[in-house]
Structure 1
Amino acid sequence: MVQPRLFGLGILLCVGGCAGLSQQQCLKRDWYHNGMADALDGRSTNQLDDYEKQCLKHGIKPDRQRYREGYADGRRDYCTAGNGYRLGLHDMPPRTEWCSNDDFTPFRESFESGQKKYQQIRRQQAQEAQRRHIEQRIRTIEIELMNKDLSDGRKQALESERRRLETQQIIDRVLPEGGVRFTW
């Protein structure tokens, strides 16, 4: 069974390992948990060869046995519903060929649930970015409108744009899921 404390482990290890391992990282690496995280993330055992190449540059040899033990345990827990949800939530591709028929349905359903949550989070992030963009543009327009040398035509265009942006802000508050998006 996937332990909750391992849910982000694969991502953390990748952050530390994908760009190249330092001497400290090679020395302090927990090779068992590294193997488990790689399996839970659906990586192949070839990943160990990459770690070994990186660590040998520092004169350090990974504990291949501990890595393989962790990998075997992670591989056994890969097809759990919890891991399926985690993979979906982090938009990681599933290795469904690793799952037996008994494990596949709960894994797939949980993966799809995680994917839906991931997509919801991405939509919310996009909406927040749009909201910040509109607020910034309104502030920029207001600053530009303070310019006393502004032509009447430019002033009218800026005021019109500000009204459109303020209307969009109201619509976004009323329909927070982005039901209407104007392209001005």
Structure 2
Amino acid sequence: MKKLFALLILLAVPLVLAACTSMSPDECKVADWNRTGYTDGAAGEDQQSSLAAYASDCAKAGVRPDTTAYRAGWDAGIATYCTAATGWREGVEGRTWKEDACRGQRGDGAFSQALKDGLKVNKTNREIQSMDTKIQDLEQKLQKTQKDNERRSLRDQIRALDRQQASLRDVLRRQESLRP
């Protein structure tokens, strides 16, 4: 059984590594570098690291990326990414690593502010979810306990968490009103 497991792992490693490549040799041979750059820019991908990955992948096929076409496409794509609406979406989804994606680009200020506002919404939502979990745990304890003083204490804790959640929902409504 151990030998079979080891064999499966050995067979899986190349598949996992292949999944990490940014472009296959066949894709390198027919790549539209302008379109590839645009797609990467529109996704907020880093231009330099993406180009380096393509250069590495395509070297295996004897292909060099057309950096001029890629950069032109990336410039057009990043312009569609660096908007307040995208910053908001990335923030609400908690994608803090995208903070530098628009640095130095047109729209940088609006993107950054919307990202910060969206991150606040994300944090508030996580706090509300955490309180939901605590309330559920307390309600389960309440169902199991028979002692009146414990039941009273658990109900008080649940009410306090309910009040905190109501307050957080008010904060969330104000935060969401900042949506671009």
Please tell me the TM-score bracket, short chain as reference. 0.5 to 0.7
Give the % identical residues.
13
Match of 2:51 among 48, 51, 60: 48
Q: Which has the higher helix share?
A: 2
Which residue is 1:166 aligned to?
162
Contact 1:88 1:112 (8 Å CA) reproduced: no
Q: Which residue of the other structure, out of 83, 94, 102, is the alignment partner of 1:85? A: 83
Partner SS state of residue 176, structure 1: helix
Q: Does residue 121 of structure 1 match 2:124?
A: no
Cα displacement (A) at 1:78: 8.0
State the 1:124 CA deviation: 1.4
Q: Is the 8 A contact 2:35 2:73 kept in 1?
A: no
Question: 2 CA distance for matches of 1:22 and 1:74?
Answer: 16
Deviation at 1:53, TM superposition (A): 2.1
Change (3 A) 1:145 1:73: closer
- The 1:64/1:176 distance shift into structure 2, 3 A limit, reads closer
1:142 CA drift (Å): 0.9
The code of the aligned residue for 2:99 comes to D
CA gap 1:60/1:49 in 2 versus in 1, 3 angstroms: same
Unaligned runs of 5+ in 2: 1-17, 88-97, 176-180
Give the alignment's TM-score, normalised by structure 1: 0.56
Give CA-to-partner distance per residue, 1:109-150, whole Å, 9 cap, x none: x321111211222211222222222122212211111114x5
- Structure 2 CA distance for aligned equivalents of residues 127 and 170 of structure 1: 12
Over 3 Å counting, the alpha-carbon distance change for 1:37 and 1:18 in structure 2 is farther
Aligned length: 145
Amino acid at match of 1:92: D
Are positions 1:21 and 2:19 aligned together?
no
Query: Kindly tell me: are residues 124 and 94 of structure 1, through their superposed partners in 2, closer, same or farther at Cα, counting changes over 3 Å?
Result: closer
Structure 1: gaps (5+ residues): 1-16, 100-106, 180-184
C-alpha root-mean-square deviation of aligned residues, in Å? 4.0
Q: 1:156 to 1:133 in 2, by over 3 A?
A: same
State the 4+ residue runs in structure 1 displaced beyond 6 angstroms: none
Under a length normalisation based on structure 2, what TM-score does the superposition of the two structures give? 0.57
Q: Choose the corresponding residue for 2:33, options 31, 39, 43.
A: 31
